[in-house]
Amino acid sequence: MECGSLAAAFLPIGTAPHGEAGSTKRMAENLAQLRVLNDEVVACAKCPRLVKYREKVAREKRRAYRAWEYWGKPVPGFGDAQAQLLILGLAPAAHGANRTGRMFTGDRSGDFLYAALHKAGFANQPTSLHRDDGLQLDRVYTTATCRCAPPDNQPLPREVSNCRAYLERELEILKPKAVLALGKIAWDAYLEILKQRGVIASRALYKFAHGAEAEFAPGTPRLFGVYHPSQQNTQTGRVTPAMYAKVLHKIRRFLEN
């Protein structure tokens, strides 16, 4: 059903020009670097367990998606090449991003997240159905700690570790002002990078909670945390649109100052 060109899939979509001096040049440089990175990500096979699983799911498919040509590969980051906010999720869902090939696209978590981003003014539409649906993000780039769908949505520590270098390169290219971690695993993944770089002494000093915020040395992106928008959380009311709206409003104010 949906199978946009590979080039289009790897191209992080920017938005209307940001109108700042030098922004066109920076946009072009970031796009070029993200293209190289995303080509590497999509070809990655460092985690044998995940390679086997993502391909098995893509072959067998869910009954409701039988007509789809599943992506079945690592899912590259998606969003604004001049993003100020990097949103860090856990991993692609087996029948969500592993099917559509775009972060948080085609599952309930994505429905919740993009609706919240649209309401907060970070996305041009509230829905995210497939790679050619016209979705554009404004000042936001979405990515994950682990870019292959894991069994039971649980990547192993070594798989998160294998994938860390890709996140580090996204941070280096985009130089965002803030990182929003969706859940504790993403929160810890970002802190681990800061620890390995000597920015912080210990992850234990920074407790994860919905609405948590951590500030580091100047020049280091500020960390915000929210509970993951999993179906289990959103259906039980542990996570509500109002909770996301409050945090996104706070982040917007931070970015604008």
CA distance 84 to 257: 12
Residue with tokens 């050619």: 132
CA distance 72 to 224: 30
Of 44 and 81, the one with the shorter C-beta distance to ligand SF4 is 44
Asked if residue 18 binds ligand SF4 (CB under 6 A), the reply is: no
- DSSP H helical segments within the chain, as ranges? 6-10, 23-42, 48-60, 97-100, 108-119, 157-174, 184-196, 231-236, 241-256
Which residue among 105, 143, 162, 230 contacts ligand SF4 (CB under 6 A)? Answer: 162
Of 82 and 145, the one with the shorter C-beta distance to ligand SF4 is 145
Minimum gap (Å) between residue 93 Cβ and ligand SF4? 14
Residue pair 81/170 in contact (Cβ under 8 Å)? The answer is no
Of 34 and 146, the one with the shorter C-beta distance to ligand SF4 is 146
Asked if residue 159 binds ligand SF4 (CB under 6 A), the reply is: yes
Chain residues 23-62 in contact with ligand SF4, contact rule CB under 6 A: 41, 44-47, 50-51
CA distance 133 to 105: 10
Binding track over 204-223 against ligand SF4, x by CB under 6 A: --------------------
The SS3 assignment for 95 reads coil
Asked if residue 93 binds ligand SF4 (CB under 6 A), the reply is: no
Question: What are the counts of helices (DSSP H) followed by strands (DSSP E) for the chain?
Answer: 9, 6
Asked if residue 175 binds ligand SF4 (CB under 6 A), the reply is: no
Asked if residue 186 binds ligand SF4 (CB under 6 A), the reply is: no
Using CB under 6 A as the criterion, which residues of the chain lie in contact with ligand SF4 when the complex forms? 41, 44-47, 50-51, 74, 146-148, 159, 162-163
